[in-house]
A and B are shown apart, each in its own frame.
Chain A
Amino acid sequence: MLGSTIRSFASRTTGASRSFFSTSAVRKTEKLWENPWKYAIPEKTKTLATVEEIPVDWSYVERLMPIEVVPEVPKHESYPTPSGWTPPSGAGKTHPYYVRRRPDHLLPLYLERKRDLLNEKTLDFDYVELVTVRSVDGDVFACEQDLRTYLQEQLGHPVATHVDELKGRIKVKGAPRSLIEQFFYSKGF
């Protein structure tokens, strides 16, 4: 807009005197100073991005999406699998209790740390590690009994257990989690 006003001014000042002898050819070659803005700033061209569709196998995109649901375990010929995993066997249904597996297909054993008594020598709290067995259905006390006898037999020292029948939980103190896993695998859970 400014350019056009300058042009009009220019034409009014110089063009008026030139109009006597001006021919169309002279007027056509515009000088640099007549429209300085046009030559100072480079010409801006806009291109809108045009896209086209590419044929792509959509399964390649599907497999990139995060897995939201725990996948089903594929069928293996023999168990334990190469990584050492065993599914629950039929033997688990023969007992008066049942330990359900986690949605991850692993045993429901959890570690927790609980504060123990104050150590008088170091004036620091001692901490103790407990193993919790969570999804126990049926006769929880029988499960606890069997577990305790097995652990005491294997370890040689007494282990402390606590049963919460309503929640179906057993807490064990003094036994490593690997031994408790061994017990439940041997029972077929």
Chain B
Amino acid sequence: MLTKAVMTSLCATRQAPVNVAARGIANIPAHEYHIRFDQRVGRKRPAQDVLDRFKRLNNGMWIHAHPGRHKLKYMKDETWQKTSLYYETCTKEQCEILDKLMTPYWLRQKHYPNDPYSAYHVRHNINSPRVDDRGNFVRERKKILMDDITSQRFFPDC
């Protein structure tokens, strides 16, 4: 005797539609949700995709996780297990584009006590100019009433 479930499945005449994906935020093209002007305030909004996947350090560098770090771990070797959890830095062009997708709040230098990324907000041996076109420091923190000799003695980011 056929079970009730099998009977119902055999008798089912109408199939549910298979490939109709609802038009959620993940399925609409990016140019439709990259907001240039917020309805309420009229200002730009930062790209949420970028905020979910990247982190900006105070010196302008962006970091991201490695794709596929949680997948098929059993097939991967010892080195991969270790390096898959590392974060990677972005290229110069990627950093420039990510900065443009952000609003000024996300480009500010933020200081948190007990920050696990505190060591990475400082870059060493970079020879490019320390200031941008407006005269603000690009990779360093603004020092109050300091000349360079004292800054170099005490601050690690000069």
Contacts and interface: CB of A to CB of B under 8 A. Distances in A.
B145 A104 contact: yes
Interface in B134-149: 135, 145, 147-149
Contact of B130 (A83, A129, A181, A182): A129
B128 interface: yes
B129 A176 contact: no
Interface residues of A, number: 20
A127 interface: yes
Contacts of B150: 83-85
A107 B132 contact: no
A178 B150 CA distance: 9
A113 B132 contact: yes
A112 B147 contact: no
B131 A129 contact: yes
B78 to A, nearest CB: 37
B133 interface: yes
A163 to B, nearest CB: 21
A79 B23 CA distance: 71
Contact of A177 (B132, B145, B148): B148
Interface of A: 83-85, 104, 106-107, 109-113, 127-129, 176-178, 181-182, 185
Interface of B: 128-133, 135, 145, 147-150, 152-153
